[in-house]
Structure 1
Amino acid sequence: MRIAGVPCVLSRLDREALLDAAERLFYEQGVQAVGMDEVRAASGLPLKRIYRFFAAKEDLVVAMLERRDQRWRASLTARVEPIADPRERVLAIFDWLAEWFAEPGFRGCAWINVNGELGPSSEAVLAEVRSHKQAFHDQIAAWVHATGMPVVEPVFLLAEGAIVTAGIRGDPAPARQARAAVATLLGTP
């Protein structure tokens, strides 16, 4: 007896397991340091199945970044949106960043890291990195516009700078420092 939809569910579960394994390995070690055999072993999927999902490692990297973008920005939105005051909402961006920076295994911005490795040689990766950064910018812009203050670019640059600096230092302090600078820009005590 064949159950309708089971192959699709298994395929989706396999794809998610593959993306989970790839994301963990690529974020921890870097894309170029991780071979497809290592992805195979971590995902538990045969290489043939992996290549049915993604014809090339580059395709896997782009899919991983796309999925991470959705999850990352949704988490940020869930933290910021419930706050009623527009200025406090903008400051909450930096509170969320500080929490992220303090997570075990934080290794900086996945998009910046992958761009540093593959962006110059991969149009697909570069396009995904640019898409993520634009979407993050647009999120920040919407929250900053609600304050009535013309400081979108400085707030975005402070957020990006905090992410990069925290990734290099391995310390959440840049989020607090950027938050203080944004509070000054917004005229918030």
Structure 2
Amino acid sequence: MDNGEARSRVLDAAEELFYGQGIQTVGMDAVRSASGVTLRRLYQLFPSKGALVEAYLLRRDARWRDSLAAYVDSVDAPPRERVLAVFDWLRGWFEEPGFRGCAFINSFGELGATSPEVAEAARRHKEEFLRYVTGLVAVTDAPAPAGRHVALLAEGAMTTAALTGSSAPAGEAREAAALLLDAAARGGRGAPGAGRSAPPNR
């Protein structure tokens, strides 16, 4: 087994264990057993558990975002529908066996206060997701702030789906995003706060 294959097997095992059971409860021995890579080889590839956790998060980030982008790119529809396709992809993810929410929120909750590497990986993942969603919204008729609002709806759907064990939040967030985009495209008519009278001049 060359280093490339060994590394992939270790990361595959680490991802299943860390995501499924939590990072702090899984030791390097468990990763060794699940991967079939000797402990000595494991530590040659990843000198510490922290290094393995960081590699796991970096690879998961790339795979997650690539999968989302590939799905959205496959949607041959106007820009508004491509934004809403994000929620269709989320629904499919929520329905996968073993879904436990966002790996980056989970890891930040476990280790964000003590591991700068984990905190940075989580922040970077969320920043890239926000950048992606705002990019999709930017080519619709909605103004720029709508991109952040749509991303927040997606983030809320992820958290709610993890807590409830249901994929329904993806559809509910999709409906909210559609309303938001339509209201924003009309210049904010019907958006929260729209139509309020301005405070009188004093």
TM-score with structure 1 setting the length: 0.92
Q: Which has the larger radius of gyration?
A: 2
Q: Which has the higher contact order (CA 8 A, sep 6+)?
A: 1
**Identical counterparts, % of pairs:** 53
The equivalent residue for 2:189 is none
The equivalent residue for 2:157 is 162
The equivalent residue for 1:139 is 132
The equivalent residue for 1:4 is none
- How far apart, in 2, do the equivalents of 1:138 and 1:119 lie? 22
How far the C-alpha of 1:58 sits from its partner, in A, is 1.1
**SS class of match (1:187):** helix
CA contact 2:11–2:56 (8 Å) conserved in 1: yes
The equivalent residue for 2:84 is 91
The equivalent residue for 1:27 is 19
The equivalent residue for 1:76 is 68
Structure 2 matches for 1:106-121, cutoff 5 A? 106-121=99-114
What are structure 1's unaligned runs of at least 5 residues?
1-6
Partner letter of residue 100 of structure 2? Answer: R
Partner letter of residue 61 of structure 1? Answer: V
Q: How many residues align?
A: 180
The equivalent residue for 1:185 is 180
How far the C-alpha of 1:153 sits from its partner, in A, is 1.1
What are structure 2's unaligned runs of at least 5 residues?
184-202
Q: Deviations along 1:5-44, whole A, 9 cap, x unmatched?
A: xx7xx11010000000000000110001111111110011
**SS class of match (1:180):** helix
Deviating more after overlay: 78-87 vs 98-107:
78-87
The equivalent residue for 1:18 is 10
Alignment match of 1:127 (pick from 120, 126, 132): 120
- How far apart, in 2, do the equivalents of 1:73 and 1:61 lie? 18
How far the C-alpha of 1:148 sits from its partner, in A, is 2.9
**SS class of match (1:134):** helix
- How far apart, in 2, do the equivalents of 1:34 and 1:46 lie? 16
